[in-house]
Amino acid sequence: MSSSFHPPLRTLMGPGPSDVSPRVLEALARPTIGHLDPMFVELMDELKSLLHYAFQTENALTLPVSAPGSAGMEATFVNLVSPGDTVIVCQNGVFGGRMKENVERCGATAVMVEDTWGEPVSIDKVSAAFAANPQASILAFVHAETSTGVRSDARALCALASEHGALSIVDTVTSLGGIELLVDAWGADAVYSGTQKCLSCVPGISPVTFSDRAVERINNRSHKVQSWFLDMQLIMGYWGSGAKRAYHHTAPVNNLYALHESLLMLKEEGLEQAHQRHMNNHLALVAGLEAMGIGMAVAKEHRLPQLNLVLIPEGVDDAAVRQALLQKYDLEIGAGLGALAGKAWRIGLMGSSSTQRHVRLCLMALEAVLADMQAPIVSGAALPAAEAVFSNS
């Protein structure tokens, strides 16, 4: 006979979801009310204002899409790309490839700017792509590549798009709340994110924001948006300022309580403090790993503090280590993807999973598992190295 599902209590240090704080889980369990209830409508206004803070924007069209990050991605493409358009798409990992799919499914041409996985998007190559394709109307790129742990220069890329009269579509699924993201100051036009990374909320919602330039492009479309569900003009009937809050779809009421709580926690901590916390814990983890004799796969200046690409020591069985961490320590870390599969682990320090406790647990557990396997590591040095960083931060 079936019975209730009781998941194990894991520590989530992979590429997302990250640990969800008890405060957010408690919000999720509050009584469900109607999605047109006047009290819920008040919550929607607050959510928009908290998203304005998180994204650092005044954009009127800022809201949480009722589906995961991939839906936020699709929402930006289907609303801004029309058949026959040319879109420059940067790919330096998994998610640029998905952007290409989106462009092609909108009936447009994707001009690919490819960089090696583990490197940031090359500004020079994007410049050259604009020179060769002056008709390009959009530049799309990933700010924080979760598949490789690399940060690209979103400020410079947005500036380049606007210099060429193009709009920018920016994937901030892994960056929001973890590293600097200044939507208005950088002139980013269509930005989407996810809730399950540095916001440490439950998965399944995608915050998005569109600049006035992007909204103008949406309002001047000659073709209907191919997706009914993600058509921003229809969604605005429910979410828009001064809108009648007419029914479009049934909003995921409890998930939105949870998002509200996690955004509130971010605001209480402050963006700069949250970024600094992510950086301090990253530096401690790296110091510990290096003391153990384990190297990092990404050059220092391009590393994401919230997603660490760690080189698997010679001769070590990738899957066996991850399995032992899960079985013995209830600790999840991520596998490498694509060319990095079997060569690197992805250790996330995102949102509520970015604490000194997480760093210590990860170093201690990894060292124990690797020592058990007679892997070529230095024992006893990792925790003191991490503690030295903590005491200086």
118 binds ligand PLP per the rule CB under 6 A: no
The number of residues that bind ligand PLP (CB under 6 A) is: 14
Encoded one letter per residue, x for contact with ligand PLP by CB under 6 A and - for no contact, window 7-36 reads --------xx--------------------
**Closest C-alpha among 147, 141, 138 to residue 114:** 141
Considering only residues 71 to 90 of the shown chain, the ones binding ligand PLP according to CB under 6 A are 73
The footprint of ligand PLP on residues 89-108 (CB under 6 A) is 95
Q: What element of type H or E holds 202?
A: none
Of the two residues 99 and 331, which places its CB atom closer to ligand PLP in the complex?
A: 99
The two beta strands, 138-142 and 86-91, are: parallel
Q: With binding defined as CB under 6 A, does residue 115 bind ligand PLP?
A: no
The only residue of 14, 64, 69, 178 in contact with ligand PLP, by rule CB under 6 A? 69
β-partners of residue 112 are: 89
**Distances 11 to 118, 302, 330 between C-alpha atoms, Å:** 26, 26, 6
| Residue sitting closest to ligand PLP (CB) | 69
| Nearest to ligand PLP of 41, 335 (CB atom) | 335
Q: Give the nearer residue to ligand PLP in terms of CB position, either 95 or 130.
A: 95
**Euclidean distance between the first and the last CA atom of the chain, given in angstroms as a whole number:** 53
Q: Which residues pair with 145 in a beta bridge?
A: 150
Check: CB of residue 348 under 8 Å from CB of residue 15: yes
Q: Least CB distance from residue 191 to ligand PLP, whole Å?
A: 12
Q: Which residue has the tokens 């889980």?
A: 25
Mode of pairing for the β-strands spanning 307-311 and 344-348: antiparallel
Residues 160-219 that bind ligand PLP (CB under 6 A): 171, 173-174, 194, 203
Contacts of residue 376, defined as CB under 8 A and 6 or more positions apart, other chains included, come to: 293, 313, 314, 315
Write the interaction track for ligand PLP spanning residues 129-158; mark x where CB under 6 A is met and - where it is not. Answer: -------------x---x------------
Q: Footprint of ligand PLP on this chain (CB under 6 A)?
A: 15-16, 68-70, 73, 95, 142, 146, 171, 173-174, 194, 203
